[in-house]
């Protein structure tokens, strides 16, 4: 079933020549990806995750989620980068916008995130919130040795054991890590935690459709089967080269725009719940393409909010930018602008309209203004914000990223640059083995 709609008519003419010239290269890049003949081809496990997901794994994830939902008011998802962004993106997109302000209900724990920063106050404040509360932990690290989640896990494990007792704590901790390697695997084996494996051939930023993303998403009460169905349909839709293959078209167009001097891509939403989807997307494209002195800089904005901050730059700043808009066709709730007798605010002309109609006209007006101002506009429309559409979007962007990276001439599946800060930090902290 085709549900996402990619509209390139307001972008392609900015780099028509480059777009035409890149056709064969986009076909070749797709084939390189599908046939596994390119750089980083030992990290292509994500390509078939949706269609080859074992049914018994999905059932086990749902059973673990049900157990945590039954026994916890809060479930803390510990991880950084690819080990938390996908789950947060989906959970945030599907939640009530004010979810954080409602108290947890029975069998509906709140999912919180830790280990994605080293903010001392953040960690202390999280622990204060969890004082005396029934909570569980999903600790996620592919390498099993990342510093940020290791610090958070040490603190929260200790707190959980104190509050619930060591035996009960063991059943409230789930570890998702490598099958054999790393400190987290060793700890999970010694302590007897339930574990899930991150496949060797799936890199962190491509792992949202493994237990890394699926378990925290299921714990938040969302339907992971629908998410996987959406992704599987997109897997089929993007399998073969064609001008109808949305991932190939997107990869080809963004490379054409890049060659035309558009060095920055902003992912735009008109629904604030997509804010963390943009964070996931930024990691996916930033870590995959930003290497060898190349790569489009992935940025994001929330509209109309940021039209009142970044809008000026986008409209009139250096012309090195293009935008990709995710537009949700239909909101879930009917909600209209009321009539007001005095009309002091002067908005009675909107009375009776759905608020979304105003939003859609803001979107159209923005597109027209930006296009006039020299900003190419790619538009991706999804019917509603639900599991199925998000599954489609996730796979679409992952596939687009793989093709685009190969077109750019980089290995989209490594991240050598991420090690630089770690080496310096370890030396400064005098970590054994890093003292020179």
Structure tokens at 114: 């830790």
398 is catalytic: no
Structure tokens at 99: 């979810």
The site string for ligand PA5 over 359-398 (x = CB under 6 A, - otherwise) reads ----------------------------------------
* Of 2, 294, 422, 427, catalytic: 422
The reply to whether 210 sits near ligand PA5 by the rule CB under 6 A is no
Residue range at the interface with ligand PA5 (CB under 6 A); choices 76-84, 248-256, 355-363, 366-374: 76-84
User: Shortest Cβ distance from residue 401 to ligand PA5 (Å)?
Assistant: 11
Please give the residues from 240 up to 259 whose contact with ligand PA5 meets the rule CB under 6 A.
Answer: none
User: Shortest Cβ distance from residue 185 to ligand PA5 (Å)?
Assistant: 11
The reply to whether 81 sits near ligand PA5 by the rule CB under 6 A is yes
370 is catalytic: no
User: Shortest Cβ distance from residue 16 to ligand PA5 (Å)?
Assistant: 34
Residue range at the interface with ligand PA5 (CB under 6 A); choices 47-55, 77-85, 300-308, 345-353: 77-85
Please give the residues from 407 up to 426 whose contact with ligand PA5 meets the rule CB under 6 A.
Answer: 415
Please give the residues from 141 up to 180 whose contact with ligand PA5 meets the rule CB under 6 A.
Answer: 141-143, 146, 149
Out of 38, 40, 50, 82, the only residue in the binding site for ligand PA5 (CB under 6 A) is: 82
Out of 38, 40, 136, 204, the only residue in the binding site for ligand PA5 (CB under 6 A) is: 204
User: Shortest Cβ distance from residue 297 to ligand PA5 (Å)?
Assistant: 17
User: Sign of the CA dihedral 61, 66, 69, 70?
Assistant: negative
* Of 128, 308, 335, 430, catalytic: 308
Which of 153, 250 has the CB closer to ligand PA5? 153
The site string for ligand PA5 over 284-313 (x = CB under 6 A, - otherwise) reads ---x--------------------------
Residue range at the interface with ligand PA5 (CB under 6 A); choices 78-86, 97-105, 225-233, 267-275: 78-86
321-328: strand order across its sheet: 5-7, 377-382, 321-328, 264-269, 297-302
* Of 34, 265, 287, 363, catalytic: 287
Binding-residue total with ligand PA5 (CB under 6 A): 14
Out of 83, 91, 116, 389, the only residue in the binding site for ligand PA5 (CB under 6 A) is: 83
Paired residues of 197 in beta bridges: 177
The reply to whether 213 sits near ligand PA5 by the rule CB under 6 A is no
308 is catalytic: yes
Distance from C-alpha of 376 to C-alpha of 385, rounded to nearest angstrom: 25
Which of 204, 376 has the CB closer to ligand PA5? 204
User: Shortest Cβ distance from residue 405 to ligand PA5 (Å)?
Assistant: 13
Instruction: Report, in angstroms and rounded to the nearest whole number, the Rg of the chain calculated over CA atoms.
Output: 23
SS (H, E, C) the chain: CCCCEEECCCCHHHHHHHHHHCHHHHHHHHHHHHHCCCCCHHHCHHHHHHHHCCHHHHHHHHHHHHHHHHHCCEEEEECCHHHCHHHHHHHHHHCCCCHHHCCCECCECEEEEECCCCCHHHHHHHHHHHCCCCEEEEEEECCCCCHHHHHHHHHHHHHHHHHHCHHHHHHCEEEEECCCCCHHHHHHHHHCCEEEECCCCCCHHHCCCCHHHHHHHHHCCCCHHHHHHHHHHHHHHCCCCCCCCHHHHHHHHHHHHHHCCCCEEEEEECCHHHHHHHHHHHHHHHHHHCECCECCEEEEEECCHHHHCCHHHHHHCCCCEEEEEEEECCCCCCCECCCCCCCCCCCHHHCCCEHHHHHHHHHHHHHHHHHHCCCCEEEEEECCCCHHHHHHHHHHHHHHHHHHHHHHCCCCCCCHHHHHHHHHHHHHCCCCCCCC
User: Shortest Cβ distance from residue 86 to ligand PA5 (Å)?
Assistant: 10
Which of 198, 314 has the CB closer to ligand PA5? 198
The residue number whose beta carbon is nearest to ligand PA5 equals 204
Distance from C-alpha of 216 to C-alpha of 224, rounded to nearest angstrom: 10
Which of 287, 363 has the CB closer to ligand PA5? 287
Please give the residues from 99 up to 118 whose contact with ligand PA5 meets the rule CB under 6 A.
Answer: none
Catalytic residues: 287, 308, 422
Q: Which residues bind ligand PA5 (CB under 6 A)?
A: 80-83, 141-143, 146, 149, 203-205, 287, 415
């Amino acid at each position: 079933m085709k549900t996402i709609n990619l509209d390139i008519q307001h972008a392609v003419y900015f780099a028509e020549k480059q777009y035409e010239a890149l056709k064969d290269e986009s076909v070749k890049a797709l084939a390189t990806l599908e046939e596994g003949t390119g750089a980083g081809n030992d990290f292509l496990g994500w390509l078939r995750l949706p269609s080859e997901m074992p049914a018994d794994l999905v059932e086990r994830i749902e059973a673990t989620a049900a157990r945590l939902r039954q026994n916890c008011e809060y479930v803390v998802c510990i991880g950084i980068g690819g080990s938390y962004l996908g789950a947060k993106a989906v959970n945030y997109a599907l939640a009530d916008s004010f979810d954080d302000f409602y108290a947890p209900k029975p069998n509906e724990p709140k999912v919180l995130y830790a280990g994605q920063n080293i903010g001392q106050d953040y960690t202390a404040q999280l622990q204060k919130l969890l004082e005396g509360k029934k909570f569980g932990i999903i600790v996620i690290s592919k390498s099993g040795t990342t510093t940020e989640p290791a610090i958070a896990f040490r603190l929260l494990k200790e707190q959980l054991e104190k509050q619930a007792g060591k035996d009960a704590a063991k059943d409230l901790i789930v570890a998702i890590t490598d099958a054999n390697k790393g400190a987290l695997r060793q700890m999970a084996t010694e302590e007897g935690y339930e574990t899930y494996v991150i496949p060797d051939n799936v890199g962190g930023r491509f792992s949202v459709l493994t237990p890394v993303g699926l378990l925290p998403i299921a714990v938040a009460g969302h339907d992971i089967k629908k998410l996987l169905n959406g992704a599987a349909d997109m897997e089929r839709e993007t399998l073969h080269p064609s001008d109808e293959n949305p991932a190939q078209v997107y990869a080809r167009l963004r490379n054409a725009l890049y060659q035309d001097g558009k060095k920055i891509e902003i992912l735009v939403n008109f629904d604030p719940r997509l804010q963390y989807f943009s964070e996931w997307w930024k990691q996916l494209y930033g870590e995959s393409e930003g290497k060898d002195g190349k790569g489009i800089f992935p940025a994001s904005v929330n509209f109309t909010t940021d039209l009142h901050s970044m809008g000026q730059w986008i409209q009139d700043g250096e012309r090195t930018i293009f935008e990709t808009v995710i537009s949700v066709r239909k909101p879930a709730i009917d909600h209209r602008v009321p009539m007001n007798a005095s009309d002091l605010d002067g908005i009675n002309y909107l009375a009776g309209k759905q608020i979304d109609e105003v939003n859609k006209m803001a979107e159209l007006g923005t597109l027209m203004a930006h296009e006039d101002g020299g900003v190419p506009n790619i538009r991706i429309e999804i019917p509603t914000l639900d599991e199925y559409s998000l599954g489609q979007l996730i796979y679409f962007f992952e596939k687009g990223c793989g093709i685009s990276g190969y077109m750019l001439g980089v290995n989209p599946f490594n991240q050598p640059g991420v090690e630089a800060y770690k080496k310096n930090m370890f030396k400064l902290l005098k970590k054994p083995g890093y003292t020179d």
